[in-house]
Amino acid sequence: AKVPRLHGHGCPKVGFVGWRGMVGSVLMQRMEAEGDFDGRFNAHFFSTSGAGKPGPTICKGDARTETGPLGDATNVDALMAMDVIVTCQGGDYTTELHPKLRHLGWSGYWIDAASTLRMTDNAVIVLDPVNKNLIDKALADGVKDFIGGNCTVSLMLMGLGGLFKKGWVEWISTMTYQAASGAGAKNMRELVKQMRAIGNVPDKLVDDDTSILELDSIVSKMLVEPGKLPTAEFGTALAGSLIPWIDKPMPNGQTKEEWKGGVEANKILGAGSLIPIDGQCVRIGAMRCHSQAVTIKLKHDVPLDEIAKAIAEHNEWVRFVPNNKPDTLAQLTPAAVTGSLTIPVGRLRKMTLGPEYLTAFTVGDQLLWGAAEPLRRQLIIVLEHMRRT
């Protein structure tokens, strides 16, 4: 049977750019799962390389629906016709197209996964379970640029938002354990290739009767000798190792990923006074999901049960994990969280440093709450605002 064309005359026109990449694909998956292509807007799909080719079919109700030929994502006139543009195309695209559109007077809503505009004065970093009040105020004030936040920042705020809402946090140090997927699809593939190379040692070496030192020696050499493992993407071995450096260096010794932790979190929170947030960001050999070990200095001593209650009740996606080994292994790992919107927080305890010092561990899927989900929800918020006004 012929697939019907998507209709939506009179509906807002929403343009999607970068919808085939990693974040964009997850965004489309989530929108279909939530029934977002329900006729409240007219979807237009653009491409930087495949203009004119057939666009995707999308799930509308129980049927797959054609979306027509792909538009040219660099055609300013076509983009100007959109009421909303949702882009996961990356920072270079934003840098090139966003100023052109604004200079030409385009007054539509720009919803973006890239970091380019996050810290500009006229943009809001969106994470509505945490800062819906700021988003609503920005819409009322005529703000048109809404940007997804850094993945680890968003995941940390989703997990610990209850503590910030209570005003208990004096400062936070967060040590991240970030998955290969945070660096991109090519990096994920390289990690698997590295794993495969390491796992290709002779079977006799993994036999319990063989000297472990021989196996250790062979694997250790593979990790450091040039040409033993593919390293074109990471620059070094990640499988069987880790990389304590993510993104560009900053003048103060931080990496840019570490710098984002403080500046972006404070902007999302709209904190009246700066909350110091700093730490070290580390790439680990997980495929998907970022983890964080946090040290929190509270402004005053708060009973642990009250802290757990504030965390658990902040939003419907956070899950408090009791501080015991079985629950930790079952719920507080990247493997347990991959593909889920759940944000578990566990290993919660007071530190021996003093009653105002708290430690916890949290995990989240950075392709969902760390990237695609805030954009999806922001589109719905914008469409509802347009409907009301």
Write the DSSP string, 201-254: S-GGGGSTTS-HHHHHHHHHHHHHSTTSS--TTTSS--TTS-B---S-B-TTS-
What SS3 class is residue 94?
A: helix
CB 16 within 8 A of CB 46: yes
The pLDDT tens digits for 129-180 are 999 999 999 999 999 999 999 999 999 999 999 999 999 999 999 999 999 9
Within 8 A by CB and 6+ apart from 150, the residues are 115, 118, 257, 260, 261, 264, 370
pLDDT of residue 139: 98
Residue 50: band (very low, low, confident or very high) from pLDDT cuts 50, 70, 90? very high
Residue 339: count other Cβ atoms within 10 Å of its Cβ.
12
Residue 115: band (very low, low, confident or very high) from pLDDT cuts 50, 70, 90? very high
Residue 6: band (very low, low, confident or very high) from pLDDT cuts 50, 70, 90? very low
pLDDT of residue 2: 34
Task: Match 């918020």 to its residue by tokens.
Answer: 381
Burial environment of residue 29 by CB neighbours within 10 A (0 to 12, 13 to 18, 19 or more): middle
Q: Report which residue type is found at 248.
A: K
Report how far residue 243's alpha carbon sits from residue 257's, in angstroms, rounded to the nearest whole number. Answer: 13
Query: Does 269 have pLDDT greater than 50?
Result: yes
Q: Which residues pair with 98 in a beta bridge?
A: none
Task: Match 């850094």 to its residue by tokens.
Answer: 150
Report how far residue 245's alpha carbon sits from residue 256's, in angstroms, rounded to the nearest whole number. Answer: 10
151 catalytic? Reply is: yes
Q: Which of 5, 111, 110, 17 is nearest to 58 (CA)?
A: 5
What are the CA-CA distances from residue 48 to residues 34, 71, 81, 367 (Å)?
Answer: 27, 9, 17, 22
Report how far residue 28's alpha carbon sits from residue 19's, in angstroms, rounded to the nearest whole number. Answer: 7
Report how far residue 47's alpha carbon sits from residue 58's, in angstroms, rounded to the nearest whole number. Answer: 16
Report how far residue 277's alpha carbon sits from residue 264's, in angstroms, rounded to the nearest whole number. Answer: 10
The one catalytic residue in 88, 151, 281, 289 is 151
Edge-to-edge strands, sheet with 42-47: 71-72, 42-47, 13-17, 84-87, 109-112, 145-148, 123-126
The one catalytic residue in 44, 98, 290, 314 is 290
Tokens of 184: 């991109």
Burial environment of residue 124 by CB neighbours within 10 A (0 to 12, 13 to 18, 19 or more): buried
Report how far residue 99's alpha carbon sits from residue 370's, in angstroms, rounded to the nearest whole number. Answer: 26
The pLDDT tens digits for 356-389 are 999 999 999 999 999 999 999 999 999 999 999 9
The pLDDT tens digits for 55-113 are 999 987 778 888 999 999 999 999 999 999 999 999 999 999 999 999 999 999 999 99
pLDDT of residue 62: 78
Residue 272: band (very low, low, confident or very high) from pLDDT cuts 50, 70, 90? confident
